[in-house]
Amino acid sequence: MARRFLLATRSEGKLRELREIFSEFGLEAVDLTTLGIPETARENNLEEFETFEENALAKARYFFDLSGGMPTFGDDSGMCVDALNGEPGVYSSSDKSSTRRTTRSCLLACGRQERSRGHASPMPDVTSRSLRSRMPSAK
């Protein structure tokens, strides 16, 4: 029996990508809907921190608690443009129309400068052991 992990995202694209990665390691990736975790307004405020890692941890902790303690992987990602000193970074939105506007603005701001960008996406896991040993309690 494969070990099960909850993926703390509602993004179908991320779910597809992460399930493929997890399956390569013989792990089962379960989504929030499958577990019957309803979407709430609180989820919209989980990404309130200054780093991708902090936002990913906030999501992992939140859904770990809602799942009753199922090992949980959180994710946050965004566009980091070297020519803009890493901006918009954590402030880039997952909303597609906003992402298009952000991308267009970044490219316009870069002008003829070298267009180098990165995609940052930490994915911490949360288990009862890791919660006790390295994380502050969830809000």
- The pTM score is 0.69
| 20-34 confidence digits (pLDDT tens) | 999 999 999 999 999
Catalytic residue positions, numbered: 76
Calculate the CA 80 to chain-centre distance.
15
SS3 of 43, please?
helix
Which CATH number describes the domain made up of 1-75+123-139? 3.90.950.10
| 119-134 confidence digits (pLDDT tens) | 455 555 554 444 333 3
61 phi and psi angles, rounded to 5 deg? -65, -45
Task: Note if the bond before 88 is cis, omega within 30 degrees.
Answer: yes
- Answer positive or negative: Cα dihedral of 59, 34, 127, 73: negative
Report which of 63, 50, 53, 61 is spatially closest to residue 122, judged by C-alpha positions: 53
Domain ranges (residues) in the chain? 1-75+123-139, 78-120
| 61-111 confidence digits (pLDDT tens) | 999 999 999 999 998 887 777 777 777 777 776 554 465 666 666 666 666
